[in-house]
Structure 1
Amino acid sequence: MRIGYTGWTWFLNEVTDPSTYATNYKKYFEQFLLEVSNLGYETVENFSFLADYYKGQEDELLEQVKRYGLDFQNLYFYFSDDAEKDIEKAKGYIGFMKKIGAHYMNMQGVMWKDTPFIRPTDREGVLGYAKLANAVGKMCAEVGIKACMHPHMNTLVFKEDQVDLFMENTDPQYVYMCMDTAHTTLAGMHAPAFAKKWGKRMGYVHLKDIDPNENAHPEWPMKRFLPLGYGCVDFKGVVKALQEEGYDDILCVELDYQPVCNYKSAMDSRNYIRNVLGL
């Protein structure tokens, strides 16, 4: 398995002035690459805005990544409420991914920020996402990219029945699973069991830990996310289940909120993977 890290938090965080994101994107991206390379990560990913920032500058992005002995493998793709526009937008992102040698696309539904955070299953909405994912996944497969659905809190595909409905209505040739250990746990599922259940369709994996205190951060439960080894996720069980199902691909660490800073979070998680998981 290859160990990766996500770069979006070097751009989007609680202390950086949002007006500087687009004007200083090369600086933030370079700092991200320098730090994760120094810690021994092998591959990187980012949110889709990177494709907008580096449009027409793909060779420069590749040079930055290679300078630090890394490769860029995954770009996110966010659904909107307009499937036709999403198809056209996906075409652009797929073209960008081909130019930079990426092989995975994480798909995610529209995320709401108002309460209730967890809502009853919207069957038609989930089936709409399945149809869209099949179309995007087919386009990805034609150029050697795996389209992976990322179940995520505050979206239509989060709880187990929602995940099951989505996966049962997508084509295994075109749509894979991106498991996120913290979101899986937040949804009330056992991470190793989830890995076992979807192991044969697993295309990509996000690793992050979570505070077991269900009463922490009721204002925004995703603030419970932690560096690996700080919370309650059974990562040994996750890795064992994945290996039993034949998954031998990328394990990508991600953390939305930093206890100290990005470097410290990435360092603690890499040490845990190396010293506890033996990877």
Structure 2
Amino acid sequence: MNLLDRFGMDTSTLAGPLEARLTAMRQAGFSQVMLHARDLVGHPGGVAQAVQAVQASGLRPTGFQVLRDYEGLTGPLHEYKVDIAKSLLQTCAQSGSQLLVLSSTTSPHASSDWDHLAADLRKLAMLAVPLGIRIAYEALSWGRSVNDFVTAWDLVCDADCPNLGLCLDTFHILAAKTPLDAIAELDPERIFLVQLSDFMWHEIPTFEDRITTARSLRVFPGEGAHSEPLADLALRLDRLGYVGDYSFEVFNEDYQQLPLDTVAARARRAASWLHDDVLRKAAPLPPWATRRA
């Protein structure tokens, strides 16, 4: 098996036309790609040509990003968001992806009523069934009611739909310092995706700083300040029996200014560390872990 078979890159990590980003990923040895809606709708040739580019690349879509601020709304706001969700599901299906990422709501207009939140997740999952799409629910560490994977898991369980599961994002887990022991309580078959990234500082005390770091200052695993807990998390998932995909969700303004092959090589190095040194040898720290990205 190719060591990169379970690892994919996110299109947002790279700059340039979609075709060039896909080529860089493929040449680095990756076999899958995390797509964003804007990759398709913003393509000069439209959605159809963007889909053709993905198919021609030979890369398998890991998933499709992202539905935000969906659950907990009422009245016209709820109707509006359901309409957006339906459109995103259609585009997700067009892209060839079978997974839509849903991030926990940050909207001040959202209810915190648990039954309401669970019902909304259930409704989205049911809308996705005819399209053969699974919903991966991700806890944002600044979410209004759901801001850690423990709470997200409880909500997914209460919504109780087979095509509804978790998306675990290491940035949010590390930034919020969520205890990793809780991973043992998860069902590996309901973990639909694991997104990997790190960051350079040890503490992110405020939501505002956390948002800024998440959106523009993430780094690849092994390049940041949290290599040991990140390796620990990967090992815990492996022992749990997780056999799904890992996607490098690295939003970094510096990487947007670098050649595509340079950034893709950094991603490959991170994947090699996780695959060879962490999951195979359980040796947590790479020799380059303390260097700045």
Matched, 1:207 2:196: yes
Q: Tell me the number of residue pairs that the alignment of Structure 1 and Structure 2 aligns.
A: 255
Instruction: Name the CA shift for 1:72/1:174 in 2 (closer, same or farther; >3 Å).
Output: closer
Determine the C-alpha separation between the residues in 2 that align with 1:52 and 1:66.
Answer: 16
Shift of 1:7: 1.2
Correspondence for 1:155: 143
Provide TM-score, normalisation by structure 2: 0.74
| d(CA) in 1 for partners of 2:142, 2:90 | 29
SS in 1 for 2:131: coil
Aligned to 1:92: 87
- What residue ranges of structure 2 are gaps of 5+ in the alignment? 280-293
Name the CA distance, whole Å, in 1 between partners of 2:37 and 2:115. 24
Aligned to 1:144: 132
Partner of 1:228: 221
- Find the counterpart in structure 2 of residue 119 from structure 1: none
**1:93–1:10: structure 2 CA closer, same or farther, 3 Å change rule?**
same
Q: 1:180 aligns with which of 169, 182, 187?
A: 169
Counterparts in 2 of 1:3-42, with a 5 A limit? 3-10=7-14, 28-42=17-31
Following superposition, the deviation at residue 69 of structure 1 comes to 2.3
Structure 1 contact 127–165 (Cα < 8 Å) conserved: no
- Corresponding residue of 1:77: 67
**Of residues 2, 6, 15 in structure 1, which corresponds to 2:6?**
2
AA aligned to 1:67 is A
Contact 1:178–1:204, Cα closer than 8 Å, also in 2: yes
Say if 1:103 and 1:145, in contact at 8 Å, map to a contact too: yes
**1:222-278 deviation per Cα after TM superposition (whole angstroms, max 9, x unaligned):** 426322102314343333332333322210001122444464444223212214422
Q: Could you state the TM-score of these two structures normalised by the residue count of structure 1?
A: 0.77
SS of residue matched to 2:159: coil
Structure 1 position 168, deviation (Å) = 3.9
Helix, strand or coil at the partner of 1:220: helix
Report the Cα offset of residue 206 of structure 1: 0.3
2:49 to 60, 67, 91: 60
How much is the aligned-residue C-alpha RMSD, in angstroms?
Answer: 3.1
Q: 2: distance between equivalents of 1:210 and 1:260?
A: 13
Aligned: 1:272 with 2:262: no
Q: For residues 46-94 of structure 1, give each alpha carbon's deviation from its aligned partner in whole angstroms, at most 9, with x where no partner exists.
A: 3333453369944422321133221223112223442222222222222
> Does the aligned pair in 2 maintain the 1:3–1:41 contact within 8 Å?
yes
Give the secondary-structure state (helix, strand or coil) at the position aligned to 1:142: helix
> What letter corresponds to residue 103 of structure 1 in structure 2?
Q
Which residue identity lines up with residue 35 of structure 2 in the other structure? N
SS of the residue 1:147 aligns to: strand
